[in-house]
């Protein structure tokens, strides 16, 4: 899943970016409000981690603009402003959650996963499909008593297809979810990951829609 991190502190931003990548997320990192706004206008994200004290355009103003255009993109505000008044202002401006600095990275990851579950209508961090149970946080799939390990990118593709089941996703769309700004897109990477998923989970799980992309059918199909 591709996230946008908006944080102007380079040391803190580096740490958060590394931690979120280790947790299996694809991360783009903007260090000012104007760059973040451009990113939001040109790229599809699953969630935003947003500092409020930003140069050029403040985090609060960025949040207001996002909600003013009708976006329901989950936003987790990350800030040193810890008064009740500040928290209320952030939530009323449209934030979905609020975490005060300093914080534990494990808590940040847990809150992000909770917001993503809510956004996709799940109550637990698991996706069930036929006889498969996918747990994104652990990079595993269980099938009966068998546990199957996945790489981070294999899991990202599988979750993307499962959360859009019945809809064919193009190679470009899947690549967008796998690679951040500073990462080089590997040639035929999507095809390789799809091949590995079929080898691990069965060739019938993911269908190729010629000229369109890849699809996991709805359970009734």
Cα separation, 187 vs 205, in Å, equals: 23
Question: Which CATH number covers residue 78?
Answer: 3.40.50.2300
pTM: 0.74
- The reply to whether 32 falls in a domain is yes
Q: Is residue 220 part of a domain?
A: no
pLDDT score for 201: 92
| Confidence at residue 85, expressed as pLDDT on a 0 to 100 scale | 80
> Do 14 and 112 belong together in one domain?
yes
165 is in which domain, residue-wise?
127-215
- What confidence score (pLDDT) does residue 48 get? 96
DSSP secondary-structure letter at 211? T
Place of tokens 């035929």: 188
How high is the pLDDT of residue 11? 94
Mean pLDDT by runs of 10 across the 221 residues of the chain is: 92 93 89 94 91 90 91 90 77 87 91 86 75 83 88 88 90 83 78 93 92 88 51
Q: What is the DSSP string of 69-116?
A: TT----EEEEES--SHHHHHHHHHTT-SEEEESS--HHHHHHHHHHHH
Examine residue 30 and state whether it is found in any structural domain, yes or no.
Answer: yes
Same domain for 99 and 26, yes or no, is: yes
Judgement on whether residues 9 and 110 belong to the same structural domain of the protein? yes
* Pairing of β 127-129 and β 97-100: unpaired
Q: Which residue, among 111, 116, 119, has the nearest Cα to 1 in the 3D structure?
A: 116
């Amino acid at each position: 899943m591709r996230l946008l991190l908006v944080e102007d502190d380079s040391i803190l931003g580096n740490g958060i970016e590394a931690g979120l990548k280790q947790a299996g997320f694809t991360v783009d990192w903007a260090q000012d409000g104007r760059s973040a706004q451009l990113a939001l206008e040109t790229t599809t994200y699953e969630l935003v981690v947003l500092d409020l004290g930003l140069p050029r355009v403040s985090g609060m103003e960025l949040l207001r603009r996002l909600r003013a255009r009708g976006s329901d993109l989950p936003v987790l505000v990350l800030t040193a402003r810890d008064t009740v008044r500040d928290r209320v202002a952030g939530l009323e401006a449209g934030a979905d959650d609020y975490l005060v600095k300093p914080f534990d990275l494990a808590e940040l990851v847990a809150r992000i996963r909770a917001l993503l579950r809510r956004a996709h209508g799940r109550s637990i961090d698991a996706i069930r499909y036929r006889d498969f149970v996918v747990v994104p946080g652990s990079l595993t799939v269980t099938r009966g008593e068998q546990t199957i390990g996945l790489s981070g990118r294999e899991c990202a593709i599988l979750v993307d297809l499962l959360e859009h089941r019945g809809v064919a996703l193009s190679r470009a769309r899947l690549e967008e979810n796998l690679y951040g700004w500073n990462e080089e897109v590997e040639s035929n990477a999507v095809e390789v990951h799809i091949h590995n998923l079929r080898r691990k989970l069965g060739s019938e799980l993911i269908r190729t829609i010629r000229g369109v992309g890849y699809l996991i059918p709805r359970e009734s199909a």
